[in-house]
Amino acid sequence: MNKKYRKTVIAGNWKMNKTPSETKEFMNQLKAILPKGRWCDVALCVPAVCIPAAVRAMRETRVGIGAENCNANASGAYTGEIATNMLTDAGCKYVIIGHSERRAMGETDADVNAKVLAALEAGLVPIMCCGESLEQREADITEEWISMQIKLGLAGVPEDKVRKVVIAYEPIWAIGTGRTATPEQAEEVCNSIRAVVRKLYSSKNARAISILYGGSMNEKNAFELLAQPDIDGGLIGGASLVPEKFVQIIEAANQPTV
Ligand code: PEP
């Protein structure tokens, strides 16, 4: 992390876990043990039906609530979909876009790009995910692949808005597998993502954009991962479902940096 130039963000991704009642219970437990004083930005991205309960419970806190997906269209005949203005109206601050589990359901880079643009337009913070498969890593094309995902995902994002995007590097082979990238592996890719942003935009924007690591981050490995200079936080699945574990990760993000 480098707190001097950019925000540290610890974001939870609940995926398809917890009901609205369980959300209320979780948020009350979390509120009771949240660290006091100044700390990093904290987001919890929850299933759509849990958003109202989460927003209500965390109203007086600095925890921002987010969605796990959105539709890029403003309104219309898209049964089952949720537009970005519905999310902001419901109290969301963040939205995860392009998670590998959604890409596996058919979401393309063009879809990701349209959603990023729609989220920015609505005033949401898009948490744009990228990541390589194990086959791609073994074929030594990780950097190339990620660079392409970043370029396509950010297409058309103007210079003055790019730093509002949070990028999450999530190697697919590390998500939900218990197999974490080593701090060096994660740093190498996050550093290369920053270089892509530098090339596409400017050194100033590259220095200001927050890049998270995700993939089996937990209360045990968070400190070491977050100590890397280009890892500005985490996108956390499993460990964000347990208040004590999530708080320990927030505490790891409070470590002093350069
Ligand atoms: C995720 O869902 O984005 C994720 C990183 O999951 P986990 O932490 O469980 O690997």
Query: pLDDT tens per residue, the chain (258 residues)?
Result: 888 899 999 999 999 999 999 999 999 999 999 988 767 999 999 999 999 999 999 998 999 999 999 999 999 999 999 999 999 999 999 999 999 999 999 999 999 999 999 999 999 999 999 999 999 999 999 999 999 999 999 999 999 999 999 999 999 999 988 888 899 999 999 999 999 999 999 999 999 999 999 999 999 999 999 999 999 999 999 999 999 999 999 999 988 775
12 lines ligand 1 (CB under 6 A): no
Q: Say which of 68, 99, 101, 219 is annotated catalytic.
A: 99
Q: Which atom of ligand 1 lies at the shortest distance from residue 216's CA?
A: 10
pTM of full prediction above 0.85? yes
Active site residue 99: yes
48 φ/ψ angles, rounded to the nearest 5 degrees: -50, -40
**Are the C-beta atoms of residues 212 and 169 closer than 8 Å to each other?**
yes
101 lines ligand 1 (CB under 6 A): no
